[in-house]
Amino acid sequence: MDCGTASLGALLAAAPLPSQRPRLLLFSPPPSTLSIQIRNRLYSMSLLRLRKARGMGRCEASLASNYTQTSEFADLDWENLGFGLVQTDYMYTTKCGPDGNFDKGGMVPFGPIEMNPASGVLNYGQGLFEGLKAYRKTDGSILLFRPMENAMRMQTGAERMCMPAPPVEQFVDAVKQTVLANKRWVPPTGKGSLYIRPLLVGSGAVLGLAPAPEYTFLIFASPVGNYFKEGLAPINLIVEDKFHRATPGGTGGVKTIGNYASVLMAQKIAKEKGYSDVLYLDAVEKKYLEEVSSCNIFVVKGNVISTPAIKGTILPGITRKSIIDVALSKGFQVEERLVSVDELLDADEVFCTGTAVVVSPVGSITYQGKRIEYAGKQGVGAVSRQLYTSLTSLQMGQVEDPMGWTVQLN
C-alpha cells in the first residue's frame, strides 16, 4: 500500500466512527488551518504526512511541520468526567530495532495495534509505562507538568528492564504532538485534565527468555476527572500484611507493568470490604510503610511530614518529588526515611500523592482490625488541603511557576 500526502480530514475519516467512541456525541470536522506555538517553536498545523510502516502493508502518520487542528471541545459531559478511558483521536507511535535507535515516529488514528503472539511484552512482561497530565488555562493555552521527569524515569526503568528508551527530547516532543493532536479533548479549565499515557513495550518476537529484538514506544491520551470517586475527600485505606507489592532487589522502584498486576488481588479484596485502596508494608520486617497500590504515602505529625525513603522497592513518584519541594517552600520539615506502621497510627494527618490522584487525604487507616480516623475539616486535613491547593494551582497555571515545572503549549 503506497502512501502519499493526505489532509487531516482524510485521517479523521479513517478513524473510528463517532458512534464507536465512549461518551462521544459529536464529531465535527476541523475548521480552517490554525497555528499553534510550543514555547519558541511554531507549528503551523495544516497537513499530516503519511509514510509506509516498515515491513507492513499499512500506513503510519508522521507529524510534519504542518497539520490541521480544531480548537473546539469534544462533546462530552465535562461536569461529570470520571477516571476512565475516553477514546480520543490520535496516538503517537515509533519503533526501535536492535540498533537501539527509535525512528522519528508520528501520529496515527487511535486504535488497536498489531502484536506478534511471541512478543516480549506478552510473554515475559517486558514493558514500562508513564503517566502525566495536560491542563487547560483560562486563556485557552495548555500546560504540561514536568514531562522531562517522566522521560528520565522511563530511561531509568528501561535500563532495569534491559530495554532501549527514547531520548528525553524525543519523549517530550512526542508528548507535545499527542496533546496538540488531541487538543479538543483537553477539558475546560477546572473540569479535569488530559491524562497522557506513554508506553514502552518489547514488541519483537522472542521465544526463549531474552530481551526483545524490537521495541514500540507509543502514547495515547484520555480526558479524566478524579481518580478516586471521593475527589478531594478522605479515602479509607487498609494496611496489607499478607500480600506484598515489591521486594528488595526486585522492580518495585521502576514503573514496569508487572508491578501493577500484582496488586490487583489485594485491591479487589479491599474494595469488596468497602475500602478505597491498600497500603503495603515492607516485605522483610513487615512493619515499615511502602506505598499504596499506585500512590506514595505521607504522614504528618506537627510540622514534620515524613514519607518512606526511595530504596528500590518504592516508585520515585514525580508528584511525590513535587510535593516535597512545595512542602519545604511552605516551611514544613520533610523527612525521607523508614516510617513505621506505629507512626502511621499516631499521625495527625495522612495523605497520598500520585499523577492520577495529585493529593488524596486519608480519612481512616485499618490495621489488623483496628481503625484509626483522622480529623480535619470535612475529613480533609489542613496540610493536605494546603499542599493540594498549592500544587494544583501551579499545575493549572493559576499562579506563577517559580519552580519552572510547567511547559506551555500556546
CATH number at residue 343: 3.20.10.10
Percent of the chain with pLDDT over 70: 81
**pLDDT score at 246:** 95
How many Å apart are CA 393 and CA 410, to the nearest integer?
18
Q: Span 349-358, mean pLDDT?
A: 94
DSSP E strand boundaries for 277-396: 277-281, 289-292, 296-301, 304-308, 333-337, 349-354, 358-367, 370-373
Partnered with residue 370 across adjacent β-strands are 367
Same domain, yes or no: 269 and 201: no
Same domain, yes or no: 251 and 379: yes
- Centroid of chain to Cα 264: 18
Same domain, yes or no: 262 and 391: yes
List the one residue out of 125, 176, 131 whose CA is nearest residue 150. 131
**How would residue 232 be classed by pLDDT, with cut points 50, 70 and 90?**
confident
Same domain, yes or no: 255 and 184: no
Report if residue 177 sits inside a domain: yes
Q: Is the pLDDT of residue 40 over 70?
A: no
**pLDDT score at 230:** 59
**pLDDT score at 375:** 75
Question: Which of the following is catalytic: 104, 133, 255, 370?
Answer: 255
**pLDDT score at 71:** 52
Same domain, yes or no: 307 and 390: yes
Same domain, yes or no: 385 and 238: yes
CATH at 213: 3.30.470.10
Pick the more confident residue, 131 or 225.
131
Report if residue 277 sits inside a domain: yes
Helix, strand or coil, per DSSP, at residue 248? coil
Q: Span 234-249, mean pLDDT?
A: 94
Please provide the distance, in angstroms rounded to a whole number, between the alpha carbons at the two ends of the chain: 36
Report if residue 21 sits inside a domain: no
**pLDDT score at 390:** 96
| Mean pLDDT score of the chain | 85
**pLDDT score at 379:** 74
Is the Cβ–Cβ distance between 190 and 231 less than 8 Å?
A: no
Report if residue 289 sits inside a domain: yes
Helix, strand or coil, per DSSP, at residue 74? coil
Sign of the C-alpha dihedral, residues 314, 320, 321, 327?
negative
Pick the more confident residue, 341 or 13.
341
Same domain, yes or no: 119 and 215: yes
Same domain, yes or no: 101 and 194: yes
**pLDDT score at 124:** 97
Same domain, yes or no: 116 and 195: yes
**pLDDT score at 218:** 98
Is the Cβ–Cβ distance between 402 and 330 less than 8 Å?
A: no
Percent of the chain with pLDDT over 90: 76
Domain count, the chain: 2
Its domain, for residue 348, covers 233-399
Same domain, yes or no: 153 and 218: yes
Give the DSSP H or E segment for 389. helix 382-395
**How would residue 55 be classed by pLDDT, with cut points 50, 70 and 90?**
very low
Q: Span 360-385, mean pLDDT?
A: 90
Same domain, yes or no: 213 and 239: no
Report if residue 34 sits inside a domain: no
How, if at all, do strands 304-308 and 142-145 pair? unpaired
Is the Cβ–Cβ distance between 292 and 237 less than 8 Å?
A: yes
**pLDDT score at 117:** 98
Pick the more confident residue, 192 or 37.
192
Q: Is the pLDDT of residue 47 over 70?
A: no
**pLDDT score at 233:** 83
Is 370 an active-site residue?
A: no
List the one residue out of 144, 95, 91, 142 whose CA is nearest residue 119. 95
The model's pLDDT over 297-347, given as tens digits with 9 standing for 90+, comes to: 999 999 999 999 999 999 999 999 999 999 999 999 999 999 999 999 999
Domain C-terminal end among 223, 249, 284: 223
**pLDDT score at 226:** 80
Domain C-terminal end among 203, 223, 243: 223
CA distances from 274 to 58, 139, 241, 267 (A): 47, 41, 18, 11
Report if residue 151 sits inside a domain: yes
Q: Is the pLDDT of residue 54 over 50?
A: no
Q: Is the pLDDT of residue 268 over 90?
A: yes
Pick the more confident residue, 307 or 29.
307
Among 67-76, 82-91, 135-144, 344-353, name the one with the lowest average pLDDT: 67-76
**How would residue 27 be classed by pLDDT, with cut points 50, 70 and 90?**
very low
**How would residue 72 be classed by pLDDT, with cut points 50, 70 and 90?**
confident
Q: What is the DSSP string of 50-73?
A: EEEPTTSSSEEEE--S------SP
Q: Is the pLDDT of residue 10 over 50?
A: no
Pick the more confident residue, 56 or 70.
70
Burial, 383: exposed, middle or buried (Cβ in 10 Å; 0-12, 13-18, 19+)? buried
pTM of the predicted model as reported, rounded to 2 decimal places: 0.82
**pLDDT score at 227:** 74
Same domain, yes or no: 252 and 114: no
**pLDDT score at 30:** 37
Domain C-terminal end among 164, 189, 223: 223
Report if residue 13 sits inside a domain: no
The model's pLDDT over 124-175, given as tens digits with 9 standing for 90+, comes to: 999 999 999 999 999 999 999 999 999 999 999 999 999 999 999 999 999 9
